[in-house]
Amino acid sequence: MEKLLTLRDSLSQGRNLLSNWFSVESPCNWSGITCVGPAVQAIDLSYTPLNSSIPSCMGEFRHLKALNLSGCGFSGQVPDSFGDLQTLQSLDLSRNQLSGALPSSLANLKMLKELVLDSNSFSGGLRIIVEHLKGLTKLSISGNSFSGSIPLDIGSLQNLEYLDLSINYLSGTLPSSLENLSRLLHLDVSRNRLSGSIFPGIGSLGDLLTLDLSSNSFIGSLPSTIGRLTSLDSLWLGRNGFTGSVPVEIGKMKQLKVFSLHSCKLTGTVPREISELRNLIDLDISENKFEGELPRSIGNLVNLMYLVAADAGLSGHLPEQLGSCKNLKILDLSFNSFSGPLPASLAGLESITTFIVEGNHLEGPIPPWISNWKMVNSIRLGKNQFSGSLPPLDLPFLTSFSADANQLSGEIPSKICDCRSLSSLSLSENKLTGSIEETFRGCSNLTDLILLGNNLHGEIPDYLGELPLVTLELSQNNFSGHVPDQLWRSPTILEISLSNNLLAGCIRIAVGNISNLERLQLDYNFFEGSIPKSIGKLRNLTNLSLHGNRLSGEIPTELFNCTNLVALDLGSNNLTGSIPEAISRLNLLDDLVLSNNQLSGHIPGEICAGFQRAAYPDSEFTQHYGVLDLSYNNLTGQIPAAIKNCAVLKELRLQGNMLSGSIPPELAELTNLTLLDFSFNSLSGPILVQVSPLQSLQGLLLSNNQLGGLIPSELSLMLPSLVKLNLSSNRLTGPIPETVFDIKTLTDVDISSNSLSGSIPFGGSIARGISSLLIFNASNNYLNGTMSESVSNLTSLAVLDLHNNSLTGSLPSSLSKLDYLTYLDLSNNGFLGDIPCDVCSIVGLSFANFSGNKLYRYAPEECASANRCVAQLVPYPPPTRSPNGGLIWGVGLGAAVGLLALVFLLLKWKAMRQQSLDLVSTDKANLAAVEPASSDELLGKKMKEPLSINVATFQHALLRLTPSDIMKATENFSKARIIGDGGFGTVYRAVLPEECVVAIKRLHGGGQFQGDREFLAEMETIGKVKHRNLVPLLGYCVFGDERFLIYEYMENGSLEVWLRNRADAVDALSWPVRLKICLGSARGLAFLHHGFVPHIIHRDMKSSNILLDKDFEPRVSDFGLARIISACETHVSTDLAGTFGYIPPEYGLTMRATAKGDVYSFGVVTLELLTGWPPTGQEEVEGGGNLVGWVRWMVGRGKEAEVFDPCLPHAGGGPSREQMMRVLAVARACTADEPWKRPTMLEVVKMLNEIKMEACGDLVTRHV
């Protein structure tokens, strides 16, 4: 008894938890103590949060047979004295914070039968256990940091019935000696680093009930001997590298209920023998590379409840026999190549709750018999070819219905609101017609209505304001009339988008009544009249866009009472008056567009009030933050020196006004500036006067002013990142400085129509072969001298225009080496001699003009291709004609073209009021800018093809890689360079010149992309998405059917790797770091949802898509790829719709409608950070299922303190634990079953930021 008193004294800090230990005299009657006579035989203190180290006096209970200390919050190491418990038969230390290696004294526990060490931080190897504890029947060490290989002689533990080694860092192969464990019932080695193949002798484990080998790196084929496991109940093999086909012997496992093969590389057909598993309840074959159809015999699986075959490579028609699986609850066949109609037999699936066939080639009408599915709550039919009208949906539990991107037509059925539970409806990008005058009147639970991109017409009904809508998206339709006043009285709507319709009339005063509104988009309609003053009542408004209407009058000063505005776009209207000085109230503003109006007066210095903050509040999410666009107005006066206060300004667009004076030298203080466009004004003085260089400036457009003087010789030092330079139509004099060509990033140069003189410095940098030029236009100057042979080093050049100068000498023969030239104009100079014949051989040369020179013939005379070129090339007329005729003709033609161009410019400026001219004339606009390839057969191509690149995006300088650059950087796509291989493509770590490390993603689907134009448009969009918590796109390359994306390299890889497979994760992923990752990821996702127009839905938010830089700052990756890949109308990855375990119960909605689905997925990631567990694989844990379900189960029983990762700080208060509990509450809100109950990502960011900032002390601020 004295030993128990000693134990009590050592646990005195738990007096309140062990109350009867201090009130009951007989120690054997204390709770958790079991005595036989005077001997203590069992101690059970499980889930008593003592939060201390294990008392060493525990080792004094020499008659102890059972010791359970699970969930006590113990930390430190296991005392050596435990080796004295030589009669111990059961030891449970699970769910603590114990660490270090197991003490060698445990080797003395020869009678031990059960050893449970789950969910701690134990490390080291397993040698002590395997060598000495031969009597074990249960060994469970899941969720630790054990490493090394599994001892080869583990098969000597022949009494083992339960073996769980999951969630550790074990490596090597699976020992074949395991086949000796003939009594084994449960084997789990999931989520380790095991490799090699499965040993054939695994079939000897005939009594095995559960086998989990998932989430390792196993390779090779599945052994046929696995079919001998005839007692097996559950088999998990997913997330490995298994190849080959599924063995037909699988059909012998008649007792199997759960069978998961997801995320492997299995090929061949799905074997018919799988249908012999008549007890099967759960089948997951998703994310494989199968071929052929789903076997018709699948209908024999009458007990099947869950069938997931997303992105499995399947094709053909859906089998009729599938309708025999009457117990199916979840059927996910998304992102395969299924075709044909939905078989009528599916009408009998009356237990179905989730039906997903998104991303296939299914066709025909949506059958009316889906109304038989009375239990269904989610139907996803998007991205197919369904046609016809939408049938009535008499489904009482349906909450989410999506049929985006099909070919549906006709009217939306009037009885759609018979689905009383319907909360989310997305029918975007179809051909639906008719009005919605009464359609949704009865949808009393509708929160998200997405009808974007149809042919709906009529007026917007007033009853929409009475529904509980949060998001209303009616853009790109034919709605007309007024916006009803009732809509402006909605108490719930946060976002209204009515862009691209035929709405007219005034914006009513009632707009000020919708007080909760955050985003309002009324772009491209026919609204007229003035902007109502009442709009100033919308104090929650963050984004307002009225672009492209007919609004007139002055900008009301009341608008500037909307002090939360981040983005304001009033462009392309008929607004007059001056820009109010009251704009200084918008302190959060960093995106202002007032272009294409009739605004007059000066630019107020107060305009920079909202561009001064370098650190943005969490509520600020904008499309192009740092944009100030006042172009194409009637603004006068000088550019204010106060422009220097726009500290975060990135794009300054003032073109097309009547500004005068000089360019202010204060611009040099705008260190973030990437684009400066002052063209079409009356500015004078020098180009730039500055002291410090504008390191980030990529576009300098100053054409059509009165600027004079020299082009600065220090231009390469002043603007080291310049991509596009347009100084045309000014009064510049002097020579072209050679240093212009020292700017490695420069692609576009237009210095035409000035008074420049001297020779063209094609020597220097160009002679050294380092030019990146695509376009060079120096026409209409006084340039003289000869053209250097070094011009051939302009290997990327697509456009060369030198007409109307005084150049002389012969044409360089190297001109014909410009393989990617599409436009060549050397007319009206003084060139002599021959036209190099090989110029004709340049593939893609669409225009060439040599007229107005003294060029007589091709050389050599026997040039076989000369006749072919005559139609394209215009040489000097033969000597028999008057030498002045060609000149007169050339001048006349030039004058005519110039006059037409001038008329065009005037019309463009006065009527269209669009952006400034491109560097190339209208004739050149159709010529593609091209990118050179150094190897024709680099990617299996047999002839050169022009490559498309971006030359006009100034959000960042896109890298211009040729295929040969990519081959060199990836070492010919070496497997050693692979750092990732997902549904979108293979990712390589690549080293570019100057030791620049990037990640190059080679997209899957070569040969099946539709066209460059769509791809390039998407790249233009994604390239403009910039946020510190998003992985930035640095560039891209198109070569034939190949697509490459270049991203910034993230040194610390993905969050998933750190949570699962990094031995140093315990130290690296401290709680402050995890909170930083959580908050940063939320910010990135919130930016996609709320800061970019059109909003971007990630659709595959998961821990592997959160990358970590060298400082563990999170960057969300793979956003925006869904639209690129899906545009191919071919096989797409399941990444577009989500990954198993992260998919919300309603399976979200496609494209813009899945914001709340992203929120759910983010919540799962947050739970991963909190618990250390993966999103699935908790089947064997009490309260099991998936991670969300397990956490709910634990919280429901008051055990929330036990869900946290044992590596995190122990329970018992403190700022970290309090933060963890609050973050857990946020995660649970995000993973609510009902989408409408989930917060938006803006709300998530706000909550997480409050958790970080409030009462967190140094523990957080030091790390985050």
Q: CB neighbours (10 Å) of residue 874?
A: 20
Question: Count of alpha carbons within 13 Å of 387, Cβ hemisphere only?
Answer: 6
Nearest to 939 by CA among 1034, 1038, 1019, 1018: 1038
Q: Which two tokens stand for residue 49?
A: 């949060």
Q: What whole-number distance in Å separates Cα of residue 341 and Cα of residue 1225?
A: 44
Contact 196/218 with Cβ under 8 angstroms?
Answer: yes
Angle between helices 1187-1196 and 1214-1230 (to 10 degrees): 120
Angle between helices 1241-1253 and 1155-1171 (to 10 degrees): 30
Contact 568/547 with Cβ under 8 angstroms?
Answer: no
The sheet carrying 217-220 orders its strands as 75-76, 97-100, 121-124, 145-149, 169-172, 193-196, 217-220, 241-242
Q: Is 1100 in the active site?
A: yes
Q: What whole-number distance in Å separates Cα of residue 57 and Cα of residue 78?
A: 12
Q: CB neighbours (10 Å) of residue 892?
A: 10
Q: Residue 817 in 3-state DSSP?
A: helix
Contact 257/280 with Cβ under 8 angstroms?
Answer: yes
Contact 1216/1209 with Cβ under 8 angstroms?
Answer: yes
- Given 188, 1100, 1135, 1205, which residue is catalytic? 1100
Q: CB neighbours (10 Å) of residue 862?
A: 8
Could you give the dihedral angle defined by the CA atoms of residues 351, 356, 361 and 367, in that order, rounded to the nearest 10 degrees? Answer: 40
From residue 228, alpha-carbon distances to 264, 300, 999 in Å are 22, 21, 45
Contact 1195/1203 with Cβ under 8 angstroms?
Answer: yes
Angle between helices 1214-1230 and 1071-1086 (to 10 degrees): 30
Q: Residue 439 in 3-state DSSP?
A: coil
692: left (phi over 0), alpha (psi -120 to 50) or beta: beta
Q: Which two tokens stand for residue 629?
A: 């666009």
In this structure, the strands spanning 1042-1048 and 996-1003 are antiparallel
Q: CB neighbours (10 Å) of residue 817?
A: 18
The sheet carrying 526-529 orders its strands as 457-459, 478-481, 502-505, 526-529, 550-553, 574-575
In this structure, the strands spanning 1114-1116 and 1106-1108 are antiparallel
- Tokens 């008894």 belong to 1
Q: Residue 629 in 3-state DSSP?
A: strand
Q: Which two tokens stand for residue 226?
A: 């696995």
From residue 1009, alpha-carbon distances to 92, 1004, 1038, 1127 in Å are 57, 10, 11, 7
Q: Which two tokens stand for residue 867?
A: 């006749």
Q: What whole-number distance in Å separates Cα of residue 806 and Cα of residue 827?
A: 10
Q: What whole-number distance in Å separates Cα of residue 107 and Cα of residue 134?
A: 10
Q: CB neighbours (10 Å) of residue 925?
A: 9
Q: What whole-number distance in Å separates Cα of residue 1085 and Cα of residue 1079?
A: 10
List the catalytic residues.
1100
